[in-house]
Amino acid sequence: MAGSDDNLLRFPQSRVRGPGARRPVKVIGMTKLAETINPSGNGAMGHWCSRCKGVWFGCGGETECPACGNRHG
């Protein structure tokens, strides 16, 4: 089965660009906890902040935007 695309189920929506795809994503930064654990940022997870309209990076369980404190995505 390796190398055969005959049985591969493709999802067309995975290639659809979103409404904000024309402009680059605003990067807000990293949380203090994520910087303490790994300053290089490897393994940090991206989270969306609707207030800042950007992505911040932190540990998996973190929910608070480091810039504005928003906890609701």
- Our measurement of the distance from residue 26's CA atom to the centroid of its chain's CA atoms, rounded to an integer in Å, reads 11
Q: What is the pTM of this model?
A: 0.66
* pLDDT tens per residue, range 7-66: 766 666 555 565 656 678 899 999 999 999 998 888 899 999 999 999 999 998 899 999
